[in-house]
Amino acid sequence: RYLPDAVHSALAQQGVDVEVIVVDDRSTDDSRRVADRLAACHPEVRVISNQENLGHVRSFNVGWEASIGEFTVKLDADDLLAPDALGRAVALFEAHPSVGLVYGHPRHFASDHPPAARVDALRWVVWRGEDWLMERCRLGVSAITNPEMVLRSSLLRQSGPMDPSVAYAPDMEIALRLATISDIGYIEGADQALHREHADSMSETDGAGLLVDLQARRAAFERALGVRRDSAEFRDRARAGLAREALRVASAAGD
């Protein structure tokens, strides 16, 4: 029921040529029919149907491998891109060729109708990938929930697809991995995405729970940092950050 809004939020982006690939992962409702209707009305939309249920990570990889765009966004069917989000991200990419990932603020909402996206005075922040990565390790958390993350496709092809073994934190894992080979850009002062919260979302069903979240973050750090030769310092810092977070959560539960 949310798919048309998600697709239209991508098609409405200004200043960029958008290719929308909808991957139907053997859905059991009328999602395929809805997707086909969107493709019939919009030549920018293409539908791919999996022959078997692959899960959300492998399904993203199927769509990404079929894409031809210079930049890539993983847009879940219940989320939306904020107006002009892609144009803002591409402008940062073009100004800073060393940047492999751009993200911004995701506005979360639980109402039937998405709120108006915030657009204030804009400012760019660009970090060295290593500095951004070390800060993620220190805190033990990801700064990204998706779909406010835009990836440079050439670097995604260089580093490899999303990792299906990190089922509940694939966005975090690919962000950490790209930070090992590129700089990271942030758009400050605007909402880059609208993240819908509802009872049927994965974060409220299969991926719910503090322990699941901590284990997913640990897996994301372990997989992403494994590609670095000097991974020991980063891994130790990430484990310490996760341990502090686990202790904080356990203490709060005890209280």
Q: What is the pLDDT of residues 136-170, one digit of tens each?
A: 999 998 888 889 999 999 999 999 999 999 988 99
> Which strand (E) or helix (H) includes residue 195?
strand 183-196
Sequence letter at residue 9: S
Chain centroid offset of residue 225 CA: 18
Q: What is the pLDDT of residues 76-131, one digit of tens each?
A: 999 999 999 999 999 999 999 999 999 999 998 888 888 888 887 689 999 999 99
pLDDT band for position 48 (cuts 50, 70, 90)? very high
Q: What are residue 121's phi and psi, to 5 degrees?
A: -60, 125
**Which residues lie across from 108 on neighbouring strands?**
195
User: Rg of the chain's alpha carbons, rounded to an integer?
Assistant: 18
CA distance 54 to 69: 23
CA distance 195 to 145: 8
Sequence letter at residue 201: S
